[in-house]
Structure formats: C-alpha cells, structure tokens
Amino acid sequence: MLSEKMQKILNEQVQKEFYSAYLYLSMEAYFSQQNLEGFANFFRVQVQEERDHALKFFNYINQAGGRVELRQIDAPQVEFASAENVFALTLQHEQFVTKSIYNLVDEAIAEKDHLTNSFLQWFVTEQMEEEATMDRILKKLQFIKQDVQGMLMLDAELAQRVYTPPAPGTI
C-alpha cells in the first residue's frame, strides 16, 4: 500500500510525464512547420515514449493500491529559436525529469517502500538514456551550426527512429 505522500508524488510524476509528451508534441509541430520531417519524427516517437511513461506510473499507482488523481497539464512552449534551441531545452527538461525521478527514489528509500523503489529503477536507467540521446543530438547540432547539408543529414538520421512499444503487460 502506498503512503499518502508517495501516492501524491507519484501522481505528480504522472502529470510531469504527460506534460513531457505535450511539450514534445509542440516540438514535433515546430519541426513539421520547418519541413524537417526527420526531426518531427524524432519528437513523434518521443511523445509516444512519454505517454507510455505516464501510463506506467498510472498503472503502478493502481496496482499498488493507490488512487490516481490526474492533474491539469499546462500549455507547453510553442515558439523556438532553432533546432539547437529545441534540443537544449529538451536536455534541460530531461534533466528536470531525472531529478524528479531521483526524488521519488529518495522518498521510496526513506519510507522503506521496496516495491516502489524497485519499480522506479527502470526509470533511473531510462533517464540516463534520455539525457544521453538529447546531449548527443545537441552536440551534433552545435557542431554543424546552421550548415544546411549537415541539418539535412541529421534530419535523415532522425527520420529513421522507430517507436518500439513496450512489451504487453509492462505499461
């Protein structure tokens, strides 16, 4: 059974994960408007991943005997200066999410909630991957600056990203 505090902060994480999906949907729209369909595809996949993260928390709360309480999702940023700006903001956002996950782990440890701690370890590893991916793309963008050929090559690379849904029963 989840403590009241753990239930509250897990519900806050559901909101953060759905906000992440909403933010990345806004970034997808930005790149679609720029006719950079590979970049748009990258964020389309990211939206699906974040939605699934939210649902993992949603289902965990229910399975652990808690009560899901959906919260309002704020409007995301819709104006961006450049592709580099988008990925710098994305990296910052992923670092924010990582900190939030770490806070959840800290609380689970403090409460000796071993089940929640175990559940959260997947997210700890996932966040390392998320930050590394965003940092790698940001560094490529910083390297190519505004070189059109470099942007088109990176766009083609990002177009190859495919969404892989989680195995059944893991959401």
Please state at what angle helix 37-63 crosses helix 4-33, rounded to 10 degrees: 170
The pLDDT of residue 100: 98
CA 54/CA 171 separation, integer angstroms: 9
3-state secondary structure of 106: helix
DSSP state, residue 65: T
For the chain, give the mean pLDDT. 96
pTM of the entire predicted model: 0.93
The pLDDT of residue 167: 74
The pLDDT of residue 123: 97
Q: Per-residue pLDDT for 37 more than 90?
A: yes
Task: Give percent above pLDDT 70 in the chain.
Answer: 98
Map out the domains of the chain with their CATH numbers.
4-159 (1.20.1260.10)
Q: What is the pLDDT of residues 117-153, one digit of tens each?
A: 999 999 999 999 999 999 999 999 999 988 899 989 9
Q: What is the pLDDT of residues 50-104, one digit of tens each?
A: 999 999 999 999 999 999 999 999 999 999 999 999 999 999 999 999 999 999 9
CA 137/CA 144 separation, integer angstroms: 11
The pLDDT of residue 169: 66
DSSP state, residue 82: -
